[in-house]
Amino acid sequence: MIKKLGVIFLISVLAVLATPVDAYARRGDMGFFGGISEGRRLPRTTETILLEQNNGGRNGRNGNALSMNYRELVFLDGRPVQFDGIIEVNSGSPADGSTSGTFNTSYRVRPSDATTEDISITRNMNFTVYYRVEGSQLILFYDINTNNWSEVITTPAGDFTLDPQRSSFVVSIIEDRTPGVTYYRGDISARMVFIGPDDEPVIMEQTGEFYGFNSAWSATETHRMDVSIINGDWALQYQIRPSVTVNKILQFVSNEPTVISFEGNYREVHQSFAGLRYDIFGAMPHFMWDESRQGTLSLETVNVFEQLPAPANMGFLRGHPSEDDIHRLFAMQILQGDPRFYVPEQAITRGQFMTALARAIKLPVEPEVQARGRREPVTVNLFTDVDSNRPEFRYIQAVQRAGIAFGRADGKFYFDYPIQRQEAFSTVIRALGLTELGLDPTVITPFMDSDRIAYWAIREMAVANMLGIIGPDENGNILPTQAISKGEAAALFNHLIEYMRTGLVSDYSEQIVNIAR
């Protein structure tokens, strides 16, 4: 069964870039200095729909230059002092279609109106980023340009000025771009030599790693860095774990007036949370540290609301177990058309399921309407049984291009045939890019009818169960070859979206930083 809150689909190594190489440019939006920023806003639903209609979502980068509120702890005079300012990020990106090359990414940290007189940071950094594409993976190496690296930190003890010629800063990153989520990890190694107020060198060394992901529903980046400072006759060692998360949640709001044409509607809330934790491991001499060796810091942000369409003509669903799931999907435009034709007990077809799945994970698709004078897209009909003039055809192209689903061995897609449960469940895990979690050669599922699961679906269904997306029915069965109903499919899509909203966030942020939100 699908928890309230899947033919053989041949996955090909040719299923690589379903999205632009740097679709959201989120990596490094906090900088690499141990501070926190408010994060980059996710695209609104309206923006996504307009991009899909006008250019197929191909350029939905949400901007590569941005300015954000920023907060950092400075330890250069022996104790953490809070700095409030602005971080400006200008993220370059790989050239479209290029498998290797370079681009520039710059960071600027400066004081804001909220900055106190006691602590100030002025930092300018420019990286040359070398990259290469390996299948679905992007490898990046950030090399600092010392001629464009300047930094002055003002503390109650005086000014600390960076000597860039004696300093180094290296960042390396690997990204894996799956259909619905881009996952990445990286390493940081830096040695910064400051000239202190007494003209003596102060050495700060930091090493660490960071993890992140971005999707249409959430994005998180978390760092864990070990830092040591040698300042004349004292030294300090500490670990700092900054993290930023942005996501969109869905809320139903009932209207208060009685005389109004609709009872209520859903709204999407775009929210952000940034926080860090630090732990002091060592201080020499010991008596210099007489305060708490642990602490946390957060950065307040303002939520942004977007209204979604009010459900209409859906009174026939009142009281149905799938009512809320179906309402949500129509509000988010994942299900479209006349809702009266979405009968929960009917089997959902392969074409209908794949169309909704593509919308759920925001796969880029060819534009629905081409502007006059623009070149028409090249349409290649890979399936003999699907009319390329059908409006759903571009979604089938998208899931095929992304490596989520292909036709069967006879070259047909069987667009209007009911989709099996094992087909549906498998494609959801492929959309998340998490098939690798089921690589155990002796895959075991808890289902009583596990022996009925096709060999090509067993790994993904084991993963779906592990993540809590599916589970056995009251008899312990999963019924892999049965058709999935429209009501069950609605619950599955909502559970997928909810996992992308919050489930991934917990693994990438809360478990590492351990800060209560």
Block mean pLDDT (10 aa), the chain, length 517? 39 34 63 93 79 52 74 90 93 89 95 76 96 94 94 93 96 95 96 95 96 93 95 90 93 90 90 92 68 85 88 79 92 89 93 95 75 49 75 87 80 89 94 83 81 90 89 89 95 94 83 57
CB 221 within 8 A of CB 243: yes
Locate 276 and state its tokens: 């860090």
Q: Give me the pLDDT at residue 166, please.
A: 96
Neighbours of 172 (CB within 10 A): 15
Q: Give me the pLDDT at residue 368, please.
A: 59
Q: Give me the pLDDT at residue 137, please.
A: 94
Structural domain includes residue 267: no
Locate 200 and state its tokens: 């003596």
CB 64 within 8 A of CB 107: no
Q: In this structure, are strands 81-90 and 65-74 parallel, antiparallel, or unpaired?
A: antiparallel
**Residue 355: partners with Cβ closer than 8 Å, 6 or more residues away:** 392, 395, 396
CB 349 within 8 A of CB 372: no
- The Cα–Cα gap between 300 and 485 comes to 43
Structural domain includes residue 455: yes
Structural domain includes residue 279: no
Structural domain includes residue 474: yes
Provide the percentage of residues in the chain whose pLDDT is more than 70: 85
- The Cα–Cα gap between 152 and 138 comes to 34
Structural domain includes residue 425: yes
**Total domain count for the chain?**
1
**∠ CA(205), CA(34), CA(292), 5° rounding?**
90
Distances, alpha carbon 506 to alpha carbons 131, 219, 378, 477, in Å: 30, 11, 41, 29
Structural domain includes residue 431: yes
Q: How many CA atoms lie within 13 A of 279 on its CB side?
A: 9
Locate 179 and state its tokens: 């259909």
430 residue type, one letter: R
Distances, alpha carbon 242 to alpha carbons 2, 203, 246, in Å: 36, 22, 14
Burial classification of residue 402, based on how many CB atoms lie within 10 Å of its CB (0-12 exposed, 13-18 middle, 19 or more buried): buried
CB 74 within 8 A of CB 153: yes
Structural domain includes residue 253: no
CB 364 within 8 A of CB 60: yes
Q: Give me the pLDDT at residue 513, please.
A: 62
Residue numbers of the domain that contains 327: 308-501
**∠ CA(320), CA(324), CA(326), 5° rounding?**
90
Distances, alpha carbon 199 to alpha carbons 17, 191, 231, in Å: 52, 18, 11
DSSP string, 281-339: EEEESGGG--S-SEEEEEE----EEEE-PPP-S-GGGTT-TTHHHHHHHHHTTSS-S-G
Structural domain includes residue 445: yes
